[in-house]
Structure 1
Amino acid sequence: MSITREFLRSPGRTGAVAASSRRLAAAMVAGIGVERAAHVVELGPGTGVFTEALLARLEPGARLTAIELNPRLAGDLARRLDGVEVVTGSAEDLTRHVRSADIVVSGLPWALFPSQRQERILDQVCEILSPSGRFATFAYLHAAWLPAARRFEASLTKRFGFVGRSRVVWGNLPPAFVHRAAATR
């Protein structure tokens, strides 16, 4: 399934014009402890590039729950990838679908969200993360200076004891970097 086609059909439900690269997927899952996680949650998996990278690192018996707003993308993901619990729904309803997670990985377009939506979703991410939980998401380099992107980064710093950035992944279109955060509870 084409992410570009889904974006053109419904730009409000699909935040990316092109699928993330495998290089960005590798950066997303690096150093967050996927190998030790019992339950990983992915927000906005889209075509499943990050999902596949997560599945490759998960230990047998670990759970992966993917929450995707776009019903076409969710259906395709559920048919294509065994071992993933796919929920068709909004990340704003995260706590309705998940009680706890060791890691949350997000492909959501944070810089496109209004402040209230960013806050609601981040509050729920923090609510389900275990005390030693990790959070990873990405941002496009060209959009990092936008007010919504800067507001999002400030929200991460407010909620997490550790917030860091990866190096720029130039092999992604457009170039991006990963925000990594560790829970403080």
Structure 2
Amino acid sequence: MSITTEFLRRPLMTGAVAASSRRLAHAMTEDIGLERAGLVVELGPGTGVFTDEILARLAPGARLVAVELNPVLAERLSATRSDTRLTVVRDSAAELAAAVGEPADAVVSGLPWTVMPRERRGQILDAVTEVLAPGGRFTTFAYLHAAWTLTARHFTAELAHRFDRLERSPVVWPNLPPAFVHRATRKP
């Protein structure tokens, strides 16, 4: 089953018509300290494009907890990745603290923020800030074509409100559709 099929079956849960590109995965995982991280959390791993890039950067003793709500995608991710550093949890990102149980050095998110109700988005962002260790990094992406929308601007404002530092990457043009990355840092 493809990401396109899952999008057609569950558009509000899946959020993307096509899998993210390797270039976007690289942009999502660079400069967030994955090489030094002990615990990394991935929200909405989908087909595992970001998962593979995270695992490639993680130290041998580090852990990656991937939280996926979609049962088909969670099962596929578990079945196709044999890396012992990876744990796939089928749950809501709003329940992040219970799924992880300890502070995370980084949280990488592929969640479809702009299709979520504002209250749900806030709950998940609160869960991210609760689980993120002091000095921890949060990274997520947004599609360029939607950056001007009211929902996208609200989301950016929510990030700025919750984090001490917020950066935006250059546009990743070789992605369908083109996207950019938000990188946020929690106070040390």
Unaligned runs of 5+ in 2: none
Matched, 1:158 2:183: no
Give the aligned partner of residue 6 of structure 2: 6
The answer to whether structure 1 residue 69 and structure 2 residue 72 are counterparts is no
Q: Which residue of 1 aligns with 2:170?
A: 167
> What is the deviation of 1:184?
1.6
Residue of structure 1 equivalent to 2:105: 102
Q: Tell me, yes or no, if the aligned pair for 2:46 and 2:73 is still in contact at 8 Å.
A: yes
Identity %: 62
Structure 1 residue 10: deviation in Å? Answer: 1.5
8 A contact 1:45–1:51 mirrored in 2: yes
Counterpart among 148, 157, 160 of residue 145 in structure 1 = 148
Residue in 2 that maps onto 1:46? 46
Residue 35 of structure 1: CA displacement? 0.2
Aligned 8 A contact 1:141 1:168 in 2? yes
1-side partners of 2:119 and 2:98: how far apart? 19
1:26 aligns with 2:30: no
For 1:97-120, what per-residue CA distance to the aligned partner results, in whole angstroms no more than 9, with x for missing partners? 112200000000111112111110
Q: Which runs of 4+ in 1 moved over 2 A?
A: none
Give the TM-score normalised by the residue count of structure 2. 0.96
Q: Would the aligned equivalents of 1:163 and 1:179 in 2 still touch at CA under 8 Å?
A: yes
2:91 aligned with 1:92, yes or no?
no
**Following TM superposition, by how much is the alpha carbon of 1:12 offset from its aligned partner in structure 2, in angstroms?**
2.5
2:59 counterpart SS class: coil
Contact 2:12 2:115 in 1 (8 A): no
- CA distance in structure 2 between the aligned counterparts of 1:119 and 1:137, rounded to whole angstroms: 15
Distance in 2 (CA, whole Å) between partners of 1:11 and 1:179 is 23
Aligned residues, how many?
185
Question: Tell me, which stretches of 5 or more residues in structure 1 are unaligned?
Answer: none
